[in-house]
Structure 1
Amino acid sequence: MQDEILRLAYEVSRVTEEKVDRIDRVMKQTGMLAINARLEAARAGEAGRAFSVVAQELGVLATSISHIGGELRQAITANIASLSNAGTQMLVDFKGTRHTDLARSAVEIIDRNLYERSCDVRWWATDSAIVDVLQAPTRDSVQHARERLATILRSYTVYLDLWVADRDGRVIATGRPDRYPLAHNLDVSQEAWFRHALTTASGDEFRVCDITTNPTLGNAQVATYSTAVRAEGRTRGNTIGALGIFFDWEPQASAVLDGIGLTPAERRASKLMLLDANHRVIAGGDHGAFGSHYPLRLDGRSSGYYQQDGALIAFAETPGYETYRGLGWLGCIETRNDESL
Structure 2
Amino acid sequence: MQDNTILKLAYDISSITRDKVGAIEAIMTTTKILALNARIEAARAGVAGAAFGVVAEEIGSVSTEINHIAADFREAVEAHTRQIEEVGGKMMIDFRGQRLTDLSLNAIEIIDRNLFERSCDVRWWATDSAVVAAAEQPDDAQRADFASSRLATILRSYTVYLDLWITDAQGRVVANGRPDRYPNVAGLDVSRSAWFRQAMQTTSGDEFTVADVTRNAALGDAAVATYATAIRANGEQHGARTGVLGIFFDWTPQAGDVVRGVGLSDEERAQCRVMLLDAEHRIIADSTGKGELGDAYPLKTGDRERGYYVNNNRLVAFALTPGYETYRGLGWYGVIEWDLVAGEKRTALEQNTVKTHQMES
Greater shift, 90-99 or 103-112, is seen at 90-99
2:184 aligned counterpart, secondary structure: helix
Aligned match of 2:282: 280
Aligned match of 2:351: none
Deviation sequence 1:134-172 (CA, Å, 0-9, x none) = 222312211111111111111111111111111111001
Q: 162, 165, 168: which is aligned to 1:163?
A: 165
- Taking the aligned partners of 1:96 and 1:64, their CA distance within structure 2 comes to 48
- Taking the aligned partners of 2:308 and 2:289, their CA distance within structure 1 comes to 20
Q: 257, 260, 268: which is aligned to 1:258?
A: 260
Q: 1:236 to 1:161 in 2, by over 3 A?
A: same
Counterpart mapping for 1:318-329 below 5 A: 318-329=321-332
Q: Give 1:288 deviation, angstroms.
A: 5.0
1:84 maps onto 2:85 in alignment: yes
Aligned match of 2:347: none
Counterpart mapping for 1:93-112 below 5 A: 93-112=94-113
1:315 maps onto 2:318 in alignment: yes
Counterpart mapping for 1:202-241 below 5 A: 202-241=204-243
Q: CA RMSD in A?
A: 1.4
Amino acid at match of 2:151: L
- Taking the aligned partners of 1:218 and 1:265, their CA distance within structure 2 comes to 37
Q: Give 1:3 deviation, angstroms.
A: 2.2
1:289 maps onto 2:255 in alignment: no
- Taking the aligned partners of 2:28 and 2:53, their CA distance within structure 1 comes to 18
TM-score by length of 1: 0.96
1:132 aligned counterpart, secondary structure: helix
1:301 maps onto 2:301 in alignment: no
Q: Give 1:112 deviation, angstroms.
A: 0.1
- Taking the aligned partners of 2:33 and 2:180, their CA distance within structure 1 comes to 98
| Alpha-carbon contact 1:158-1:248 (below 8 Å) kept | yes
| Alpha-carbon contact 1:171-1:184 (below 8 Å) kept | yes
Q: Give 1:7 deviation, angstroms.
A: 2.2
1:331 maps onto 2:334 in alignment: yes
1:116 aligned counterpart, secondary structure: helix
Structure 2: 5+ residue runs without aligned partners? Answer: 345-361
Q: 1:288 to 1:182 in 2, by over 3 A?
A: farther
Q: Give 1:235 deviation, angstroms.
A: 0.7
- Taking the aligned partners of 2:252 and 2:153, their CA distance within structure 1 comes to 23
Q: Give 1:10 deviation, angstroms.
A: 2.1
TM-score by length of 2: 0.91
4+ residue stretches of structure 1 with deviation over 6 A?
none
Q: Give 1:47 deviation, angstroms.
A: 3.8
1:201 maps onto 2:188 in alignment: no
Q: Give 1:199 deviation, angstroms.
A: 1.2
Q: Give 1:75 deviation, angstroms.
A: 1.3
Q: Give 1:287 deviation, angstroms.
A: 3.1
Q: 133, 138, 152: which is aligned to 1:150?
A: 152
- Taking the aligned partners of 1:18 and 1:241, their CA distance within structure 2 comes to 81
- Taking the aligned partners of 1:161 and 1:332, their CA distance within structure 2 comes to 29
Aligned match of 1:267: 269
Q: Give 1:4 deviation, angstroms.
A: 1.9
- Taking the aligned partners of 1:305 and 1:296, their CA distance within structure 2 comes to 10
| Alpha-carbon contact 2:136-2:168 (below 8 Å) kept | no
- Percent identical among aligned pairs is 55
| Alpha-carbon contact 2:285-2:291 (below 8 Å) kept | no
Amino acid at match of 2:315: L
Greater shift, 316-325 or 40-49, is seen at 40-49
Greater shift, 19-28 or 246-255, is seen at 19-28
Greater shift, 186-195 or 6-15, is seen at 6-15
| Alpha-carbon contact 1:272-1:333 (below 8 Å) kept | yes
- Taking the aligned partners of 1:134 and 1:208, their CA distance within structure 2 comes to 20
Amino acid at match of 1:280: R
Structure 1: 5+ residue runs without aligned partners? Answer: none
- Taking the aligned partners of 1:242 and 1:286, their CA distance within structure 2 comes to 34
Greater shift, 80-89 or 113-122, is seen at 80-89
Deviation sequence 1:189-236 (CA, Å, 0-9, x none) = 000110010111110100001100000000000000001111111111
